[in-house]
């Protein structure tokens, strides 16, 4: 009764969770454009797309991906052999246990009519599969806690599922071990299955089981005489052998049995094996109920992500389906950290202390944000900054074991954030080159908006000299600013400048305009001069600073050896630091 209630409760939570999770694939949206697509439209598009794909030659691609990437996990194999071994052990071992052991009444008995869980090869295989899972869990622990893989961050979710799995496995071995030694269980079996009826036979059979099968009897203890054992053996062969292989085959549980045997009698009285039995099943049910809400959900979303990505293409696929796929992909993420390990800018995490630089953590943040759009202002800025600190090198997408197209996810998420009105001063850096390369995918207004916002935020922050007509207040000159620059060898060269304007004459940006000071705010030589005087506000808001190409024409031309370009870079760094600190 208790068992059934638990089972059906767990199953219901699992199914409801599954339904709820899958519904989010059609309800949540990632990119700015996907918000307008209705849930019903997305659902129909998904059904239509799936049917059309299955009926097309693309089905061969799906089949290939299913075998290579889903069943044999080629992508993990390429990424890391150790991880592949770990994953194969956990996934393979657990699947086999699930099919042969947990679903024995449905599957194993149908295939093998003579099946008994206490009979070989099943007895041995159960232990073997269990051992394989334990090996996998051991490797997982080793990777996460001993190997110290760079930038692999562990969160609570990573531990929960491993703990649940470990509890299932360990309780299983302990349960089997205590059953082997249990005298009560032995007696129940004799009553239920044997036709032994006289006192002498009882004693002989029990003696044989104590001697050979590890049962710990409160009444009998070895050594037994040959005759009793011979009779016991005979009785065993006629009554028990058909259903019972030697427990030594379950080598782990047998080891447990040997260890606990001094305590076996009292454990038996305290009914410890029932407690372990409950623990074993409860852990299974908790695992089942929790599955849709945990990262274990990747066993459903992962294969779907691999399959969908193998046949979908941003340019040709239905936009509604892309929107759905992108939400689904987030559920496929296992937080394995492969992306962060190979990330082209992952190392920046050491310098810039924003965890969202790392793709694996960015994913976790973006996932939270997509589920409830009410993140804190500070968090939003953090995520946005992390999203922008990306060189779009595609490495994360190439290594993702579940085939998530992270590249597109970042692109869409970045647009969602920077369009929603949080000025991002990083848009004025070379990182915008990548956004520019995908200009075709954005409309003109959306494209310009974040850039204008960033310039405006800069102008507001550096508003000291708002108008050209305002006289400069000498008290507002920033002396520390000049000192900051002097600390570096290249920065300090600004003091050699005698404002000869050679740099400006060499600057291709200045040369591009008829009236450079008007368009650019300041020209290069004016920036050098303003640096010497100590007018950071004037410099930071000038368009010249942010359109500097870094082509080094000015620096090469300078007769005084002023490292003009290097100074402009240093000034950009300072401006960005100032805006970031304030906002």
Q: Identify the H or E element spanning 70.
A: none
Range in contact with other proteins (rule: CB under 8 A) among 58-66, 367-375, 430-438, 471-479: 430-438
Which of 90, 180, 366, 428 binds other proteins (CB under 8 A)? It is 428
- Distance from first CA to last CA of the chain, Å, rounded? 60
452 near other proteins, judged by CB under 8 A: no
Q: Are 312 and 322 in contact (CB under 8 A)?
A: yes
Rounded to a whole number of angstroms, the minimum distance from the CB of residue 508 to other proteins is 6
Site string for other proteins, 381-410 (x = CB under 8 A): --------x-xxxxx--x--------x---
426 near other proteins, judged by CB under 8 A: yes
Binding to other proteins, residues 75-114 (CB under 8 A) = none
Query: What number of other Cβ atoms are within 10 A of residue 188's Cβ?
Result: 11
Residue 231: closest CA among 207, 195, 197, 248: 207
Range in contact with other proteins (rule: CB under 8 A) among 181-189, 218-226, 227-235, 429-437: 429-437
Residues in the chain, how many?
Answer: 583
Rounded to a whole number of angstroms, the minimum distance from the CB of residue 364 to other proteins is 21
Closest CB to other proteins among 131 and 519? Answer: 519
Rounded to a whole number of angstroms, the minimum distance from the CB of residue 113 to other proteins is 52
552 near other proteins, judged by CB under 8 A: yes
Residue 508: closest CA among 476, 547, 473: 547
555 near other proteins, judged by CB under 8 A: yes
Cis peptide upstream of residue 257 (ω within 30 degrees of 0): no
459 near other proteins, judged by CB under 8 A: no
CA distances from 283 to 2, 101, 172, 290 (A): 14, 15, 10, 10
Range in contact with other proteins (rule: CB under 8 A) among 5-13, 65-73, 191-199, 422-430: 422-430
153 near other proteins, judged by CB under 8 A: no
CA distances from 46 to 25, 313, 319 (A): 10, 14, 10
Query: What number of other Cβ atoms are within 10 A of residue 283's Cβ?
Result: 20
Rounded to a whole number of angstroms, the minimum distance from the CB of residue 241 to other proteins is 56
Describe the crossing of helices 156-181 and 272-290 by its angle, rounded to 10 degrees: 150
Closest CB to other proteins among 150 and 222? Answer: 150
Binding to other proteins, residues 502-521 (CB under 8 A) = 508-509, 512
335 near other proteins, judged by CB under 8 A: no
Query: What number of other Cβ atoms are within 10 A of residue 529's Cβ?
Result: 18
Spatial neighbors of 203 by CB under 8 A, at least 6 apart, are: 220, 228
146 near other proteins, judged by CB under 8 A: no
Which of 451, 464, 500, 532 binds other proteins (CB under 8 A)? It is 451
Which of 217, 427, 504, 531 binds other proteins (CB under 8 A)? It is 427
Task: Give one DSSP letter per residue of 433-499, joined into a string.
Answer: HHHHHTGGGS-HHHHHHHHHHHHHHHHHHT-TT-STTSPPPGGG--HHHHHHHHTSTTGGGGGG---
Task: Give one DSSP letter per residue of 359-383, joined into a string.
Answer: HHHHHHHHHHHHH-S---HHHHHHH
Q: Are 120 and 112 in contact (CB under 8 A)?
A: no
Range in contact with other proteins (rule: CB under 8 A) among 51-59, 414-422, 463-471, 539-547: 539-547
Closest CB to other proteins among 265 and 431? Answer: 431
Range in contact with other proteins (rule: CB under 8 A) among 6-14, 95-103, 298-306, 543-551: 543-551
523 near other proteins, judged by CB under 8 A: no
Burial of 218: CB neighbours in 10 Å, binned 0-12, 13-18, 19+: exposed
Spatial neighbors of 317 by CB under 8 A, at least 6 apart, are: 49
- Binding residue count for other proteins, defined by CB under 8 A: 57
Which of 346, 386, 423, 524 binds other proteins (CB under 8 A)? It is 346
Which of 200, 350, 420, 466 binds other proteins (CB under 8 A)? It is 350
Q: Which residues bind other proteins (CB under 8 A)?
A: 150, 342-348, 350-352, 389, 391-395, 398, 407, 426-437, 439-440, 451, 489, 508-509, 512, 543, 546-553, 555-556, 563, 565, 569-570, 572-573, 576-577
């Amino acid at each position: 009764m208790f068992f059934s209630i638990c089972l059906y409760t767990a199953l219901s939570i699992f199914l409801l969770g599954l339904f709820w999770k899958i519904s989010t694939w059609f309800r949540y949206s990632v990119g700015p454009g996907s918000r307008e697509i209705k849930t019903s439209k997305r659902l129909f598009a998904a059904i239509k797309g799936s049917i059309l794909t299955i009926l097309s030659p693309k089905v061969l691609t799906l089949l290939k991906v299913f075998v290579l990437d889903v069943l044999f996990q080629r992508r993990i194999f390429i990424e890391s052999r150790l991880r592949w071994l770990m994953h194969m052990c956990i996934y393979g071992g657990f699947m086999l246990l699930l099919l042969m052991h947990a679903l024995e009444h449905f599957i194993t008995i149908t295939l093998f009519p003579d099946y008994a869980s206490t009979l070989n090869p099943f007895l041995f295989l159960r232990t073997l599969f269990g051992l394989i899972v334990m090996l996998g869990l051991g490797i997982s622990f080793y990777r996460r806690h001993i190997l110290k893989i760079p930038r692999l961050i562990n969160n609570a979710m990573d531990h929960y599922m491993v703990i649940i799995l470990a509890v299932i496995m360990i309780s299983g071995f302990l349960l089997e071990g205590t059953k082997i030694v249990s005298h009560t269980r032995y007696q129940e079996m004799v009553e239920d299955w044997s036709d032994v009826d006289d006192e002498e036979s009882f004693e002989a059979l029990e003696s044989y089981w104590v001697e050979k099968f590890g049962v710990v009897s409160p009444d009998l203890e070895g050594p037994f005489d040959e005759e009793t054992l011979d009779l016991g053996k005979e009785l065993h062969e006629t009554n028990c052998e058909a259903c019972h292989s030697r427990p030594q085959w379950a080598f782990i549980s047998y080891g447990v049995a040997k260890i606990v045997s001094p305590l076996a009698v009292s454990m038996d009285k305290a009914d410890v094996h029932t407690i372990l039995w409950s623990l074993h099943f409860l852990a299974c049910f908790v695992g089942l109920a929790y599955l849709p809400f945990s990262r274990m959900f990747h066993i459903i979303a992962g294969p779907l992500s691999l399959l969908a990505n193998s046949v979908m293409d941003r340019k040709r696929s239905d936009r509604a389906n892309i929107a759905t796929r992108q939400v689904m992909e987030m559920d496929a993420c296992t937080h394995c950290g492969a992306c962060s390990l190979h990330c082209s800018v992952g190392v920046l995490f050491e310098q810039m202390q924003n965890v969202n630089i790392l793709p694996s953590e960015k994913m976790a943040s973006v996932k939270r944000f997509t589920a409830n759009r009410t993140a804190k202002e500070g968090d939003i800025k953090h995520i946005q900054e992390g999203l922008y600190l990306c060189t779009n090198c595609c490495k994360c997408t190439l290594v993702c074991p579940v085939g998530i197209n992270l590249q597109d996810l970042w692109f869409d998420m970045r647009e969602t954030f920077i369009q929603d009105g949080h000025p991002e001063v990083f848009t004025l850096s070379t990182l915008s080159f990548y956004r520019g390369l995908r200009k075709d995918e954005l409309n003109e207004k959306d494209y310009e908006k974040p850039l204008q916002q960033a310039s405006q935020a800069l102008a507001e922050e550096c508003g000291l000299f708002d108008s050209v007509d305002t006289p400069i207040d000498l008290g507002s000159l920033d002396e520390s600013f000049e000192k900051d620059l002097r600390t570096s060898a290249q920065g300090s060269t600004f003091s050699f400048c005698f404002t000869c304007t050679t740099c400006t004459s060499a600057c291709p940006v200045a040369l591009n305009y008829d009236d450079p000071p008007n368009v650019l705010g300041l020209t290069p030589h004016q920036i050098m001069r303003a640096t010497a005087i100590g007018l950071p506000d004037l410099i930071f808001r000038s368009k010249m600073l942010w359109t500097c190409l870094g082509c080094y024409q000015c620096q090469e031309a300078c007769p005084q050896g002023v490292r003009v370009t290097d100074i402009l870079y240093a000034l950009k760094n300072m401006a960005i630091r100032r805006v970031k600190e304030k906002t």
